Amino acid sequence: MPRMKAIEAAVKVMEKEGVSVAFGVPGAAINPLYAALKAHGGIGHILARHVEGASHMAEGYTRAVAGNIGVCIGTSGPAGTDMITGLYSASADSIPILCITGQAPRARLHKEDFQAVDIAAIAKSVTKWATTVLEPAQVPQAFQQAFHLMRSGRPGPVLIDLPIDVQLAEIEFDPDTYEPLVPYKPAATRAQIEKALAMLNDAERPLIVAGGGIINADASDLLVQLAELLGVPVIPTLMGWGSIPDDHPLMAGMCGLQTSQRYGNASMLASDFVLGIGNRWANRHTGSVDVYTRGRKFVHVDIEPTQIGRVFAPDFGIVSDAGAALRLFVDVAREWKAAGRLKDRSGWAAECLGRKHSVDYLRKTHFDSVPMKPQRVYQCMNRALGKDVCYVSTIGLSQIAGAQFLHVYQPRHWINCGQAGPLGWTVPAALGVRVADPARKIVALSGDYDFQFMIEELAVGAQFKLPYIHVLVNNSYLGLIRQAQRSFSIDYCVQLAFDNVNMAEGEVARGYGVDHVKVVEGLGCKAIRVHRPEEFAPALAQAEAWMAEHATPVVIEVILERVTNIAMGTEIDNIVEFEELATQVADVPSALAVLD
């Protein structure tokens, strides 16, 4: 049996499990792992500027391509605690990432050694498994178990903590005979699918709610097949956006308190039956359970048994991987259609499509004011970026308005931190997406506060030649919190504006504070400032030319009016529209023109 250091065995296991790149920051307690990575050479490494940034890069890497598992690495103590936010974000959205931390020697764990913290205990509530490996011989199997757990059932993150003496100890391990464990995924039975389909068939106005579990299962094609077989409109959740193209006649819009369209909420309220697949009934999607469920029946399909009934009790629940359920749904629906057992849904589908194209349900985007309104920025993005763009965004009015006005046409082309929403997530996540897919057209979207949180990670994009476009909408405000403070009649501690004495007159309106152009250029990237709608498309062309020549990120900073309230409300039937609604069909993006 070959003998090697335990940490060398860990590297070989990761390679066998398909890892080809890791994100992290070296340090004293994890240097044995870095030595093994360098010696073996099969796993590349991206050096982050902040360890939390490394965890979000790992998230972006996983979210971008089916089957990926991002790996983030840090030393002992604060490196692990810095990555807790990434683990929380991944856990909340069912994203598998592997976090590896160094640790003090076993004999020093109870002696308050330098940077010795019980990171496994800290991480327990935001991971599927968090462990400090105390026996060197268990290292290979700990990594094997980590990948098995991340891929089984509801996906999620794992943390492995490695004392330095455990890493350096010699063990016996044969990598040539190593095989990954087969993951466990529950699957629906035919009887369950037939019952759910019969309930849907009995309804008059059914909808399918498509959640992020469909994206995780790489089952978007099956969702579209099912919708077309049944003729039933689909409402994707924010995490499921892109599972059906925005311009598909059966895409009925999104529902929710914030990240939704008026026509999506209206169609949900008009429905009498909902088949939810791979979703968790998040409160930003539902609002109150009473309003959301009144007058309609529900079937809920989810991979996690304890998710069924967690928010409200469905009329029928099925524990199943979304892909396994959809394959069976398609098979049964095809049989029933051939036998003439399915109802004709053309009238209901046409009603939902009619809302989608009616000015009565559209928000206005064509504002000509300067400084620009955010609605006009998204109109410019829709018209200039095309249908193959992949958006990356996390939280704030920028993300909420983006979800209301942008359009997504493919799965994994809306990379979004759905539940945790940590500020600063967008830059490192976009870099992770770029590492996962070197050819994808990536456009990240941030407000100024999100952008400033982890702006240093742009230097990673410059160093490692990871180009992407970052649209920065700058109103010098914590816009979402400012809007929420209206309920308290305050505007307090949310202003980012100040007179920057280093900013030349005319560069930007006085009082906008941070000179993002200088900061971005100081980090080795390119920045372009936009004031007017007609400047956006030329800025985009300039950004693409720069990336082609220099292969670094490019920031397009759009100066917004200081205060814009974005539509949102307390219930899906009580959304406040602060701005004008559309007045003509011309306000509808061409991508949403009525299909032949």
If asked whether residues 122 and 163 sit together in one domain, one would say: yes
pLDDT of residue 590: 43
Which of 328, 359, 390 is the C-terminal boundary of a domain? 359
Query: Does a structural domain hold residue 591?
Result: no
Torsion sign across C-alpha atoms 532, 534, 536, 541: negative
Which of 146, 177, 208 is the C-terminal boundary of a domain? 177
Q: How far is CA 448 from CA 25, 121, 150, 408, 476, in A?
A: 26, 35, 34, 23, 6
**Sequence letter at residue 381:** M
If asked whether residues 248 and 107 sit together in one domain, one would say: no
Domain enclosing residue 169, as ranges = 3-177
Q: Which residues of the chain have pLDDT under 70?
A: 479, 505-511, 584-596
- Decide: helix, strand or coil at residue 392: strand
Enter the tokens of residue 542.
């300039």
pLDDT of residue 584: 62
- Domains: count for the chain: 3
What does the alpha-carbon distance between residue 589 and residue 591 come to, in Å, rounded to a whole number? Answer: 5
The residues that are catalytic are 25, 51, 423, 478, 481
| Radius of gyration, CA atoms only, the chain | 25
Query: Does a structural domain hold residue 594?
Result: no
pLDDT of residue 472: 95
Query: Does a structural domain hold residue 185?
Result: no
- How many Cα atoms within 13 Å fall on the side-chain side of residue 258? 18
Nearest to 378 by CA among 451, 516, 473: 473
If asked whether residues 310 and 415 sit together in one domain, one would say: no
pLDDT of residue 586: 47
pLDDT of residue 506: 61
CATH of the domain at 195: 3.40.50.1220
- Decide: helix, strand or coil at residue 82: helix
pLDDT of residue 108: 84
User: Which letter does DSSP use for residue 3 in this model?
Assistant: E
Enter the tokens of residue 277.
């697949």
Strand partners, 5: 170
Which of 329, 359, 389 is the C-terminal boundary of a domain? 359
What does the alpha-carbon distance between residue 418 and residue 569 come to, in Å, rounded to a whole number? Answer: 18
What does the alpha-carbon distance between residue 188 and residue 278 come to, in Å, rounded to a whole number? Answer: 13
pLDDT of residue 593: 38
What does the alpha-carbon distance between residue 84 and residue 36 come to, in Å, rounded to a whole number? Answer: 25
CATH of the domain at 149: 3.40.50.970
If asked whether residues 203 and 316 sit together in one domain, one would say: yes
| pTM for the structure as a whole | 0.94
pLDDT of residue 113: 79
If asked whether residues 167 and 95 sit together in one domain, one would say: yes
Query: Does a structural domain hold residue 572?
Result: no
Query: Does a structural domain hold residue 574?
Result: no
Nearest to 211 by CA among 238, 247, 187, 230: 238
